[in-house]
Amino acid sequence: MPELPEVEVTRQALSPHVTGQIWVGAVIRESRLRHPVPPALADPEPQRVLQVRRRGKYLVLEMSHGALIIHLGMSGTLRYLPRAAPAQRHDHVDLLFADGSLVRYRDPRRFGTLLWVPRLPETSSAPFWQTHPCFARMGVEPLESGFDGAWFHRVTRGLKRAIKPLLLEGRLVVGAGNIYACESLFLAGIDPRCAAGRIGLKRYHRLAQAVRQVLEQAIQAGGSTLRDFVGATGEGGYFQHQHQVYGRTGQPCVRCATPIRQLRQGQRSTWYCPHCQRN
């Protein structure tokens, strides 16, 4: 599944191409995604793309009269292409621009989402599109200033849940998906099974720093391409070559040579070093 780095890589690639463009319509070849694609996207009032933003794992094309919210699901990608580029299998939606270019949404598994939110009067410092229910229970952005060890320590007091599933849940921190949670916990030296409420302030400072560092490195590397992910220009990511624990069952730890272990937490696999990561 594309996680925060992959979505941010897509945002950074799309933004210079579509910001300022006039969106004139869409070609909808398959509307049956996780939520039905709104038919009105095919013939909207032409409007300018003001900016391309990200919240968690959602991309947002903020426009003159509203915002298009996109979630890539498990296998979705967005590609910036000329209008003449032939559509292929699983190319479900094309967003058309007045200059003859398009953004093509491809999704073999069809678990993604395209939603439209009309522009509303701003009633707070938050953008109008954040009133949509999909953003209602999202935690803090790990790459923004509000995320640090002191905050992490404060909000986890008394929590008995293991830290790894808590990172994935998204109600405290958004976008730290499975790959990056495993890598961050390894970098911070924290056992993924450790109860969140038992982790002290010093270790939370390490964890907050590790989450930020891992995500920034992954973005710089273009994300992780494990199966389907490519960026908006068609290039895959390379961060999978830097994974230190994720997917390395039985291989020697890069620090101590202890074999990496794999376990199940909830319905997700977790990889960790039993020597370097302490409870």
User: Which residues are marked as active site?
Assistant: 2-3, 57, 268
First to last CA, the chain: 28
Helix and strand element counts for the chain (H, E): 5, 10
Alpha-carbon span 234 to 124, nearest angstrom: 37
Q: How far apart are CA 279 and CA 276, in angstroms?
A: 10
Q: Cα 16 from chain centroid?
A: 19
Is residue 9 within 8 Å of 237, Cβ to Cβ? Answer: yes
Q: Cα(6)–Cα(235) distance, rounded to whole angstroms?
A: 11
- The answer for residues whose C-beta is within 8 angstroms of residue 275's C-beta and 6 or more apart is 253, 256, 258
- Which 3 state secondary structure label does DSSP give 92? strand
